[in-house]
Structure 1
Amino acid sequence: MEKYSKWRDFGTGIQPFLPIVPPNSRTRGIGSVSSILCTYVLGVVLSISRLLTLVAILSVDSLFTNVISNLFPTQYLRNTCKNFFRKNFATLLLWNSGFLSIDQSVYSLKKFKSLKKSLDSGSKQPKSGDLIFSNHSSYIDVLYFISRYNPIFVEIDNATLKMKPLKGWNAIISSCSKPKALLNAKDAMSLSQISQDARKYNMGPIVVFPENTTSNGLGLLKPLDIFSDPENIDENISIFITCLKYPSKRFSPTFPMGSPISHYFWLNANLTNKLSVVSVDPMECPTFKGLENKSSKGNAERQEIDMDKEINSGMISCTKLKQTKLSTLDKLDFLAYYYAKSEQYKKNK
């Protein structure tokens, strides 16, 4: 759409904020009728049944994570129990939405190997307090990470680079919401403090979306330089890079904007949905461990910037996507323009 050309990245030609429109089917006659029947009749029935199942799963999840888990005497044990239950219920929700199998693999600069082979060979796994950096194109990203680790997610202040930790379903709600450019000062914490608390209370690894908002998955947004703030550095953590893609030819699971309820309804109208997860080999991920002693501020800043660049480079290689120069602030401008035009259109009808 040319009216949104301001938010087209001129270097790549990508418009990362517009929803992906499924390719038009050229089938006619019986094929066209069959497609309409599957989508608007059987698909609607399937989606309604899945939404009812969703309510049941969330009800049982609330019972186990908020009642049974609290019977344990210490915060560490309570979080351990909550992590176990929440991961399993999130897995059920993925299955319920048609993500019956997830293609998982490990990306290496030297070779491409299956995740199963890597795990069998003793691949390092994220622990509480470790950092997982990922691209972000859908609330399904959040659901996937919950099913794997029940981690902490963070909202990032674009100015101060301080963060607000989120857990569980609150992180999904945040992913579906308008991005926040600034955080309330009372909620803001350094990444290192969040990491220390996660290790102390066994709250899981920390998932960081350096784009700080969702895109349509066609390209990467300009990332925030997380480690340009020295308070975000914790040399005791390990860094992991994981990238998620949705190779769908029908209704796309990516969610850059719009109504999350409507999107989730039609997502569940698909019999199956696909998710591809590619992780950079943990042995090739950047790390703070082993860096030279930072004796001067200038040297520290140089190394921190290099760390952000290394992470971003790993994400570009892992996703095979082009890097745009558009950021979270550009998306906020786009949404303001889009909704203003929508209101104007409604008034003129």
Structure 2
Amino acid sequence: STVGGDAVAMEKFTRWDDKVSGVNPFVPPLRRGQSGMAFAPRVLLGVVLVVLRFPMAVLLLLVIALVDLVLLLAPIPYVRRLIRLLVEAPLCRILLILLGFYSVREAEASKRRLKLAPAAEGAPGADDASVRSGDVIVCNHQSFVDVLFLNYRYAPVFLRASTDAAGGVVETNLVGALLQAVRPCPSKGPPAASAAAVVA
């Protein structure tokens, strides 16, 4: 009965299985033992790749920081947007490839599986899941990789929650968003504003 109970307990978590990797965050992963002879070449290859890719990644980060500086000096918003789409976004994609993200699969989330209420008929975006100019993407990133992907995919205006008691959001550039992603606690920034004011 204990084995059957464990099987039932595991079964209720299967809906959280990742469709691509099959990883389930609530089930302990199965570990397979590897011999030293099979593991050593992989370690050696990993060291070689790190030695080759690390300087290139640092160089790309410096170029991205330089582009961000140019964007701060560009007076026309349309020019800044064009630079981000034609220069900064491809640089982020190249950096993702250097980090091992050769392809990123995108799929529309199932509202039924996530138990989300459907959008009301006639509401903006009710029949279209594509992201358009002026839309707000709300997410909780876990690493700087998420920031790089968002900038490559959408070239957005990054906002973060303000640490002030009054609330609001703080606008930041790509470099600022990357720095916030690697910090354990959000740093204090300029005065906060409302999201509607920044998007407008």
The offset of 1:138, in angstroms, is 1.9
Pairing 1:82–2:95 present: no
- Structure 2 letter corresponding to 1:140: V
d(CA) in 1 for partners of 2:128, 2:141: 28
State the match for 1:152 in structure 2.
Answer: 157
d(CA) in 2 for partners of 1:71, 1:188: 22
TM normalised by structure 2 equals: 0.65
Secondary structure of the residue aligned to 1:169 is helix
d(CA) in 2 for partners of 1:167, 1:71: 13
Written as runs of structure 1 = structure 2, the 5 A alignment for 1:124-163 is: 124-127=130-133, 129-157=134-162, 159-163=165-169
Secondary structure of the residue aligned to 1:34 is helix
RMSD: 3.3
The gaps in structure 1 that reach 5 residues or longer are 1-11, 13-20, 112-120, 197-349
State the match for 2:42 in structure 1.
Answer: 38
- Structure 2 letter corresponding to 1:89: L
State the match for 2:107 in structure 1.
Answer: 105
**Contact 1:150–1:168 (8 Å) recurs in 2:** no
Written as runs of structure 1 = structure 2, the 5 A alignment for 1:47-62 is: 47-62=50-65
Distance 1:86 1:94, change over 3 A: same
**Contact 2:142–2:181 (8 Å) recurs in 1:** no
Please point out which of 191, 194, 198 is paired with 1:194. 198
d(CA) in 2 for partners of 1:70, 1:139: 21
Q: Which structure carries more strand by proportion? A: 1
Distance 1:164 1:22, change over 3 A: farther
State the match for 2:179 in structure 1.
Answer: 173
Distance 1:192 1:183, change over 3 A: farther
Deviations 1:21-70 (A, max 9, x none): 98654123xxx33213312x221220121111113323444555545x68
Q: Give identity over the alignment, percent.
A: 23
Distance 1:64 1:143, change over 3 A: closer
**Contact 1:163–1:189 (8 Å) recurs in 2:** yes
- Structure 2 letter corresponding to 1:52: P
State the match for 2:8 in structure 1.
Answer: none
**Contact 2:171–2:198 (8 Å) recurs in 1:** yes
d(CA) in 2 for partners of 1:168, 1:25: 40
The offset of 1:147, in angstroms, is 0.7
Secondary structure of the residue aligned to 2:108 is strand
TM normalised by structure 1 equals: 0.39
State the match for 1:275 in structure 2.
Answer: none
The offset of 1:134, in angstroms, is 2.0
**Contact 1:163–1:191 (8 Å) recurs in 2:** yes
- Structure 2 letter corresponding to 1:83: R
Distance 1:36 1:56, change over 3 A: same
**Contact 2:68–2:174 (8 Å) recurs in 1:** no
**Contact 1:91–1:147 (8 Å) recurs in 2:** yes
Deviations 1:8-33 (A, max 9, x none): xxxx9xxxxxxxx98654123xxx33
d(CA) in 2 for partners of 1:35, 1:54: 26
